[in-house]
Chains A and B, each alone.
Chain A
């Protein structure tokens, strides 16, 4: 049996680098608090079982920016305040793209997925059509 080991929780950032067949993978999680290796929780196991690989599954799982919790849910504090921990889908990313003429465009997008799409050249939308003719937003530098 092919054995793949994935580290979750505190080590979640490294998990996405591991190509694992979820169907045949033996998984272990690194506890976020103790740092010890342990069996994954049901939630963590569910994440790993999604998709065709650990990489795909973990990429799809939102992780809290503060605690690393998978799919963070709203928390009601004692004073009635409600907190929603955010995940990477709400982060703002700056992405630079070099054009054919050597000039560089800088774009701000929200979410890792949108940033990855830009880096991989999957930019889909043009600039606002009314913009180009009235101010220096053209890509042309010569």
Chain B
């Protein structure tokens, strides 16, 4: 990995220095050579001459140049990771795609062709994506100079009536804030183009032309114990809806799971002489910001941050002296509402709290908490409204900074988050079928978050490698 990173950096320096715009073909060269064909016309997309300021390590001075640098950066990450003696050609462009004021197609990418029964094919009668087939064959299959991947991204994102106000973040450092990280989005879509998908129809169970994809050799329905390649169409159709009974059996992914996924489920443990009926383990919703919970618990005296009337404060404004004293060095309890989760947690962190519990303001099981703030360094969770009420009652006999109630945040159990009891990563199989997302993604329960989940999470890094990500391991399982 270290060697790859060095190679990537060296390649980037050379590539960026060689940037040209209109009609450019860029080469992201490393262990595999990726050639980016800029197929935009003059003044459009990659050739948009609108002046922009450098951002996040992207030194381009026009919008088109920054787009091309970012695209090349993402291609370089894959190029430094994959090995192939055949070039991978990507036809790339920015164009107008479907939009409304609140939704937008960010872009699309995918393999242009699939191949079976080529020279050196590891599995007969099995479809492989174009770039992978070329690698395995050791030759350029199909039509000379054909592109292996098409990629097309939205040129109008952020304009009026196209998710107005939210644009692609073209920086290379992942600090996308409220905008959309172009690099992560592109890495994900290119992953599909490289072969992270089945070409079997998950909705009907029908194989493409009657042949399985290499994907189907590793996809197992645990309800039947059969691989997808061995199932009937009806069995595949049912397997695609099996929720937690669709797993990946590839040996490289399975072996890497302990290095990537977290063991255990998150929870809040309450103890102490004043804990009363709240003593015990409580469900929590985790935050997408701050450090994730781990098997090293974060524990401390639980103190409520209250208003002058004794109810839980929202922690949306600077704390009073009394509130700050209660928070300092303790686990703080506040209420959800009015402002973002990150604002509350940051306010309490600044006051010296070591962790934060946010009591829900609506009934139900505690869901997760979205938001982004890289400056947050303490853990936080959401607890149920009922637990919040019970804890506030138990905390009634407190002093200004002591309560006799202790809170511990951590994970328990031996099952990896996102894997089945036998340690195989689960694939996305919701019921009802989620058109376009089911089967060809990791399940959303994976933690840490994975690049190839159907929802592109805001906390993704730009790594496709262990110990951060299992994407490349899966691609290796299918032949990369």
Evaluate whether A124 and B445 lie within 8 angstroms (CB atoms) in the complex, with A106-B456, A134-B266 already known: no
Q: How far is the CA of A105 from the CA of B193 in the complex (A)?
A: 22
* Chain B proximity of A23: nearest CB distance (Å): 28
**Residue A26 interfacial (CB < 8 Å):** no
CA distance A66 to B106 in the complex (A): 21
Please determine whether B337 and A142 come into contact, CB atoms closer than 8 angstroms.
yes
Whole-angstrom distance from the CB of B328 to the nearest CB of chain A?
Answer: 25
Select the stretch in B22-30, B36-44, B79-87, B107-115 that faces chain A: B107-115
Q: A108-B189, A110-B197 are in contact. Are A83 and B115 (CB under 8 A)?
A: yes
Q: Which B-chain residue is minimally distant from A81 (CB atoms)?
A: B118
User: Measured between alpha carbons, how far is A139 from B285 in the docked complex, in Å?
Assistant: 12
Q: Which residues of chain B come closer than 8 Å to A74, judged between CB atoms?
A: 209
Q: How far is the CA of A79 from the CA of B428 in the complex (A)?
A: 37
Size of B's binding interface in residues, CB under 8 A: 89
The interface residues of chain B lying within 8 Å CB-to-CB of A113 are 435-436
- Judge whether B147 and A109 touch: CB under 8 Å: no
> B100 in the interface, Cβ–Cβ < 8 Å?
yes
Distance to closest chain A CB from B467 (angstroms): 18
Docked Cα-Cα span, A137 to B104, in Å, equals 20
19 new A-B pairs (CB below 8 Å) besides A81-B115, A92-B197, A138-B367?
A: A80-B117, A81-B116, A86-B112, A92-B188, A96-B103, A106-B456, A108-B189, A108-B192, A109-B434, A110-B192, A119-B98, A121-B103, A133-B285, A133-B365, A136-B285, A136-B457, A140-B341, A141-B342, A142-B341
Q: Given contacts A107-B455, A108-B456, is CB(A83)–CB(B114) below 8 Å?
A: yes
Residue B430 interfacial (CB < 8 Å) = yes
- Min CB distance A59 to B, Å, is 12
- Docked pose: A92 CA to B152 CA in angstroms: 10
The 4 closest A-B pairs by CB, nearest first: A109-B436, A114-B436, A136-B288, A136-B368
What residues of B have a CB within 8 angstroms of the CB of A129 in the complex?
243, 430
| Residues of chain A lying within 8 A (CB to CB) of residue B118 | 79-81
A132 contacts B by Cβ under 8 Å = yes
- Tier of interface size on chain A: 35 or more
Interface residues of chain B, those whose CB is within 8 Å of chain A, are 98-100, 102-119, 127, 137, 141-143, 146-147, 150, 157, 163, 166, 178, 180, 185, 188-189, 192-193, 197, 199, 208-209, 243-244, 265-266, 283, 285-289, 336-343, 365-371, 417, 428, 430, 432-437, 440-441, 443-445, 447, 449, 454-457, 459
Question: Are B368 and A132 in contact, CB atoms less than 8 angstroms apart?
Answer: yes
A115's contact among B105, B287, B343, B433, by CB below 8 Å, is which?
A: B105
Contact B105 A126 (CB under 8 A): no
B289 contacts across to A, CB distance below 8 A: 136
Is A103 among interface residues, defined by CB-CB distance under 8 A? yes
Cβ of B295 to closest chain A Cβ, rounded Å: 15
Asked if residues B113 and A66 are in contact (CB atoms below 8 Å), the reply is: yes
A-B contact pairs, 19 of them (CB 8 A): A90-B111, A91-B150, A94-B108, A94-B188, A95-B104, A96-B103, A97-B103, A106-B180, A108-B454, A118-B103, A120-B103, A125-B434, A126-B430, A128-B443, A130-B244, A136-B289, A136-B457, A139-B370, A142-B338
Q: Are B436 and A115 in touch, CB under 8 angstroms? A: yes
Residues on the B chain within 8 Å of A81, using CB: 115-119, 137, 141-142
Check if B283 sits within 8 Å of A133, measured CB to CB.
yes
Is A19 an interface residue, CB under 8 A from the partner? no
> Is A111 an interface position by the 8 A CB rule?
yes
Q: How far is the CA of A116 from the CA of B103 in the complex (A)?
A: 10
| A81-B115, A94-B189, A142-B341 known; A124+B435 contact, CB < 8 A | yes
Q: Is the beta-carbon distance between B150 and A94 smaller than 8 angstroms?
A: no
Residues of chain A with a CB closer than 8 A to B265's CB: 134
Q: In the complex, which residues of chain A have a beta carbon less than 8 angstroms from the beta carbon of B208?
A: 84
Contacting B188 at CB < 8 Å: which of A104, A108, A127?
A: A108
Residues of chain A within 8 A of B141, CB atoms compared: 77, 81, 83
